[in-house]
Amino acid sequence: DAGITQSPRHKVTETGTPVTLRCHQTENHRYMYWYRQDPGHGLRLIHYSYGVKDTDKGEVSDGYSVSRSKTEDFLLTLESATSSQTSVYFCAISESSSGGQTYEQYFGPGTRLTVT
């Protein structure tokens, strides 16, 4: 299994509270991703990173920010959590070709976030 850990694994928070989720990898892969998974919507990309301090938005980025100060860590922050952000959040990693395209993605175990 790819060396990906996510913390915390479960969190319950109140509306309006800031929340930070952490993804840590030991594979030294260049690309890191944050997804959310919801019934009826499947997996959707929130943000991704293609290097230290290099990030870009995905399909559902509103209300989320990310940071990557080290190769191994990718943080997802909900500045002011809302009930619509209750979801399961997955981190993924992949390596890239010299042309910038990405290879196989490997997923972490997920974080279940409940916003009350």
Where along the sequence are the contacts to another protein (CB under 8 A)? 31, 33, 42-45, 48, 50, 56, 58-59, 90, 92, 100-110
Q: How near is the Cβ of 45 to another protein at its closest, in Å?
A: 6
d(CA 96, CA 52): 14
The single-letter DSSP state of residue 52 is T
d(CA 74, CA 34): 9
Shorter beta-carbon distance to another protein: residue 12 or 14: 12
Shorter beta-carbon distance to another protein: residue 36 or 85: 36
Q: How near is the Cβ of 68 to another protein at its closest, in Å?
A: 15
Give the list of residues 6+ apart from residue 14 with CB closer than 8 angstroms, or none.
81, 115, 116
Q: Is 2 helix (H, G, I), strand (E, B) or coil?
A: coil
Q: How near is the Cβ of 79 to another protein at its closest, in Å?
A: 23
Which residue type does 115 have?
A: V
Q: How near is the Cβ of 80 to another protein at its closest, in Å?
A: 26
Tokens of 25: 């990898």
